[in-house]
Structure 1
Amino acid sequence: MKQKIAVLGPGSWGTALAQVLAENGHDVSMWGHNPAQIDEINTYHTNRHYLPNIKIPESIVGYKELKAAIAGVDAILFVVPTKAIRSVAQEVTKHIAGNPYIIHASKGLEQGTHKRISEVLTEEIPEDKRKEIVVLSGPSHAEEVAVHDITTITAASEVEEAAKYVQDLFMNDYFRIYTNHDVIGVETGAALKNIIAIGAGAIAGLGFGDDAKAAIMTRGLAEISRLGVAMGADPLTFIGLSGVGDLIVTCTSVHSRNWRAGNLLGKGKNLDEVLDNMGMIVEGVATTKAAMELAESLNVDMPITATIYSVLYEGKDIQQAARDIMLRDGKVENEFSQK
């Protein structure tokens, strides 16, 4: 059934998801705060800064006014940076009409509160103005989805009907969606894998090879799982698409902003230089701080996260940080509760 969907955030991932929806026959509007970008989408049907060489469907209409973009929609898809989720949700609440589904495909934890994105959306958009909230997450690069590479991700909601609704919206022959009820696990895996990807990029930048890559990914997954379970997640989620799947794709690809940022750090650049060079949001930097604070409050040991935090926020030499984490006391691997 044809649906009317508003996509908030015309970055690379928002544009790729809008393309999937339009190609599936849905009526898609896109909203963004950059007027020139919206003009480009409407005039040339491109978004060159984020997805160069990609022609997006002409049926996608860009809007500069949020109220117009969400008028009469069946669902609203948030794909804005984590730091903007609350403010954009507040604006949506002012103008929302009807009871649309709320979907988000952003990955991070809110600074200060350490809240997951669905928690922020729940706080800001009253129940009487929406249907259920659904998380869309998993191993995916916008650059690959845009050229129809095969991709599989997860739609997570506590209400099965809502997850299936999103599954039906997006499913096609190159974009496959699985449903999941573990919202906490899916959001936690999505946010925390960006931290480990910074570490994986740093290892590559320092000149280490595949052994080190395997080590940081495997032990990084253990950290993600420990914190996620402490937050109430199902541990099985972390061996699925939004856990190990998303971790693999983010830790091994040059498409990953977080991997690229870590790679530059490993090559000796400082954080300010790295962020200036990227030109896009690197969610893992802010998430490292939020996760470190959250882990301390929950008494969860996260040595890789702590090491990356020391480099990003305390100015620790990255080569010394790599040596120090290797010289930690010996641990038992296969006990889940082991720190």
Structure 2
Amino acid sequence: MSFNTPYSILELATVSQGEKPADAFHKALDLAQKAESWGYHRFWLAEHHNMKSIASSATSVLIGRIAGGTKTLRVGSGGIMLPNHSPLIVSEQFGTLGALYPGRIDLGLGRAPGTDQTTAHAIRSDRMQSVYRFPDEVNQIQQYFSTENASASVRATVAEGVDVPLYILGSSTDSAHVAAKNGLPYAFASHFAPGQLMEALQIYYNNFQPSAQLQEPYTIACINVIAAETNEEAERISTSLIKMMLGVMTNNIDYMQPPTEMTPDLKELAMNPAFQKMLKYAFIGDKEHVKNNTREFLKATQVNELMVVSHIYDHNDRLKSYQSFAEIMQELESVKV
């Protein structure tokens, strides 16, 4: 079999040590422009807050910047954490983006906070009530985008009739039910929460109900990729990812650190069961190694699309990794495997 699988990018606008958020914004745009020429399908930005290493907190603003600096690439949210926001405001923001960049804007919606609980409370004090209302608030956004809402007392006039497809994001099985019931595409965060990927996909496929947006199930899975000239170089570059994940797990988040040699301590850390569990789908190595892992992942999951995130300190190394992955996907498409 061969794979004709669209491949996309999840971007966090990561801030490296010694740099400012503005540097991350410039690099994100440069990556998006090059990704467009390499055949990437979409470029999504993730919402996070109170993390000095991640600058994509004003997600819709950054989406506008990326869309304005590219021509054909689909640009969207991976995702907007809906309990942090008013459905009306989200509809107005993305309706505006959809009008400015017709046929190129995606609205991915999740229910996680994208931050710690204290910050989540500061963003929206009633967010826990909104978490429970997530399915209803998704429906509310759909209503704001519909032309039928023209007769409603509350309208998002800039969104009515604008083509902005919705996607449901998830890292557990809960969101699979919402995506299936609403007949929406489903994107799973297997790059950091791989444990329930297969079960969530099965729930989604088994319960999918066709909708005006989507007649058949459509799935996206996210993986980590660090591709380099050699396995040794990829391993060295991956030490930045290991340090980053340690910061996440110990709640001591720092700027993206430069890579070092793979010391015995770092190797032991990478082999820790908690690390292994979280980074099950981290494909790190030379082109052939990453290609083999990607091929097996596609065979096992049968997802419709792959989304890649690459936590790499050096911008040029990151560009090389994404270019190499694009070549891998093109080779998997053209060759029987």
What TM-score, normalized to structure 2?
0.30
Which structure has more RCO (C-alpha within 8 Å, separation ≥ 6)? 2
Going by fraction, where is helix more abundant, 1 or 2? 1
